[in-house]
Chain A
Amino acid sequence: MDQEPDSLLSIAGAVAEEAAVSWDDELRLADDASAATLRGLQEIAQILAAQRSLQRDLTAPPSAGHPEVTPYPRRAGGTF
Chain B
Amino acid sequence: MTALISMVKPPEGERLSPPRADSATRSPETTIALVVRARGGDRSALDELCVRYLPRLRRWAHGRLPSWSRQMIDTEDLVQETLTRVTARIDKFEPRHEGAFQGYVRQALHRRLVDEVNRAAGKVAESVGSARPSSDPSPLEQAIGTELLERYEAALLRVKPEDRDAIIARVEMDLTWAEVAEALEKNSSESAQMTVKRALVRLAREMSHGSRA
Partner-B contacts on A (CB < 8 A): 2, 4, 8-9, 12-13, 15-16, 36-41, 43-44, 46-48, 50-55, 57-59, 61-62, 66-72, 74
Chain B residues within an 8 Å CB radius of A43: 144, 148, 151-152, 204, 207
Residue in contact with B198 in the complex, picked from A4, A53, A71, CB distance below 8 Å: A4
**Chain B, interface SS category:** helix
Question: How many Å lie between the Cα of A50 and that of B141 in the bound state?
Answer: 9
A38 CB contacts on chain B under 8 angstroms:
204
**A55 and B62 in contact, given A2-B198, A46-B148 (Cβ under 8 angstroms):** yes
Which residues in B have some Cβ–Cβ distance to A below 8 Å? 15-19, 58-60, 62-63, 67, 70, 139-140, 142-145, 148-149, 151-152, 155, 170-172, 174, 193-194, 196-198, 200-208, 211-212
B66 to chain A, nearest CB (A): 11
What's the A-B contact tally at a CB cutoff of 8 Å?
127
- Chain B residues near A50: list those with CB within 8 A: 140, 143-144
Contact between A4 and B201 (Cβ–Cβ < 8 Å)?
yes
Q: How far is B193's CA from A9's CA once the two chains are assembled, in angstroms?
A: 10
A57 vs B208: C-alpha distance when bound (angstroms): 30
- Closest CB pairs A-B (n = 7): A40-B204, A54-B63, A50-B143, A36-B208, A40-B207, A12-B200, A12-B197
CA distance A44 to B156 in the complex (A): 11
Of A15, A54, A70, which is within 8 A of B200 by CB? A15
Q: A16: which of B16, B197, B205 is its contact (CB, 8 Å)?
A: B197
Residues A51 and B63 in contact in the complex (CB < 8 Å), given A43-B148, A59-B19:
yes
Interchain CA distance A9-B149 in the complex, whole Å: 23
Specify which chain B residues have a CB less than 8 angstroms from the CB of A48 in the assembled complex.
171
What separation, in Å, do the CA atoms of A4 and B204 have in the docked complex?
Answer: 12
Interfacial chain A residues near B196, Cβ < 8 Å? 12, 16
**Closest Cβ neighbor of A5 among chain B residues:** B201
Contact B67 A66 (CB under 8 A): yes
Q: Which of A13, A38, A40, A46 has the most CB of B within 10 A?
A: A40
CB-CB under 8 A for A74 and B148, given A54-B139, A59-B19, A67-B139: yes
Instruction: State how many angstroms separate the Cβ of A12 from the closest Cβ of chain B.
Output: 4
A65 to B196, CA, bound (A): 35
| Residue of A46, A53, A54, A61 most packed against chain B (CB within 10 A) | A54
